[in-house]
Structure 1
């Protein structure tokens, strides 16, 4: 069952000199419920623009985006906001935890927009989610007192607390050392799989991309499948990105 589908999506912007900059050029992608897809590409390849489209933060210049069998261009702004808040979780490279708030308070934040039982149980739900990612003993720690791996685990807990159907991970290990990054990616994959969420990892690291089930390369605005096994077999994998 398809959860997210992009059909010949383009994105371009008008430059001050009236020239048109084409960022994405006919991107087609189908992500099923529970799928794990990686998109790898260099800086400037259009990854951030694509992430904004996948997360319903922006609209394409042409082409169609379908989320949960709904054409997103036909949704009102409020409907897009509700879908994004309820069904999409974002995990960023720099963690984006709120300073001056404990790990528990950070993870509780998305629940402030919930209603009914979820809202009143937000502290318990956040506590359980932090325990699930191994931070049960760090509930009252401020972000600056957490290691990089712990901050990323808190960010994962915050992204998953409303049980999103789609998780978008933007360079989720970019600020971590190799060992901690591998641990975080394993955790993210396990949690996504156990909850049935689709996971899209956007990265420049082929080793991180290899952890997904399906692999794509974004190059000069064009998205194409990539043979990760072949890339990893090369002595300098970056040349294929």
Structure 2
């Protein structure tokens, strides 16, 4: 079952006294429920622009994005906000935790915009998610008292607490050492699989990208499917992207 589909999507920016700058060029991508897809590309390849489109934060210049079998162009800004808040979880490289708030309060934050049982059970749900990522004993700790790996686990718990159907991981291990990054990605994949969520990992790290089940390369705005052997070859320093 298709959850998200991009059809011939382009994104360009108008420049004064110059032709438009083409950032994405005819991108086609289909992500099914429970899928794990990686997109690897260098800085400047269009990864951030693609992430904004996948997360319903932006709209394409041309082409079509279909989320849950409904064209996003048919959704108003409020409907996109609701879909993003309830169905999409974001995991960022820099964690983006709220200073002066405990780990529990950080994870509770998305539930302040929930309704019904999720809102009234927000403290319980946040605590259960922190337990799930191995931070049950650190719930009342402030972000500055947590290690980088622990902060990323809080960020993961915050992204997953509303039970999103799509998880977007943007350079999720970029601020971590290799061993911690590997354990973090294993955790994200495990939680996504258990919940049946689709996971899209956008990264410049070919080793992280190789952990997915389907792999893509983004180069100068062009998205191309590649096999895992090609992804791992990208990690070799002598091989140019």
Shorter chain as denominator, the TM-score bin is: over 0.9
- Assess, with a 3 A threshold, how the Cα gap between structure 1 residues 197 and 142 changes in structure 2: closer, same or farther: same
Aligned equivalent of 1:31:
31
Secondary structure, in 3 states, of the residue corresponding to 1:149? helix
Which whole-Å CA distance do the structure 1 matches of 2:168 and 2:235 have between them?
Answer: 29
Secondary structure, in 3 states, of the residue corresponding to 1:9? strand
Q: CA deviation at 1:117?
A: 1.3
Aligned equivalent of 1:108:
108
Aligned equivalent of 1:166:
166
TM-score (norm: length of structure 2): 0.97
| RMSD, aligned CA | 1.2
- Assess, with a 3 A threshold, how the Cα gap between structure 1 residues 130 and 234 changes in structure 2: closer, same or farther: closer
- Assess, with a 3 A threshold, how the Cα gap between structure 1 residues 7 and 213 changes in structure 2: closer, same or farther: same
Which whole-Å CA distance do the structure 1 matches of 2:196 and 2:234 have between them?
Answer: 34
Aligned equivalent of 2:151:
151
Q: CA deviation at 1:155?
A: 0.2
Q: CA deviation at 1:118?
A: 1.1
Secondary structure, in 3 states, of the residue corresponding to 1:181? helix
Secondary structure, in 3 states, of the residue corresponding to 1:65? strand
Secondary structure, in 3 states, of the residue corresponding to 1:144? helix
Secondary structure, in 3 states, of the residue corresponding to 1:239? coil
**8 Å contact 2:214–2:227 — kept in the other structure?**
no
- Assess, with a 3 A threshold, how the Cα gap between structure 1 residues 238 and 25 changes in structure 2: closer, same or farther: farther
The 4+ residue runs of structure 1 with deviation greater than 4 A are none
Which whole-Å CA distance do the structure 2 matches of 1:18 and 1:62 have between them?
Answer: 20
Q: CA deviation at 1:195?
A: 0.1
Point out where structure 2 has 5 or more consecutive residues left out of the alignment: none
Paired residues, what number? 241
Q: CA deviation at 1:18?
A: 3.6
Deviations 1:117-164 (A, max 9, x none): 111110000000000000001001111110000000000000000000
**8 Å contact 2:207–2:235 — kept in the other structure?**
no
1:71 aligns with 2:74: no
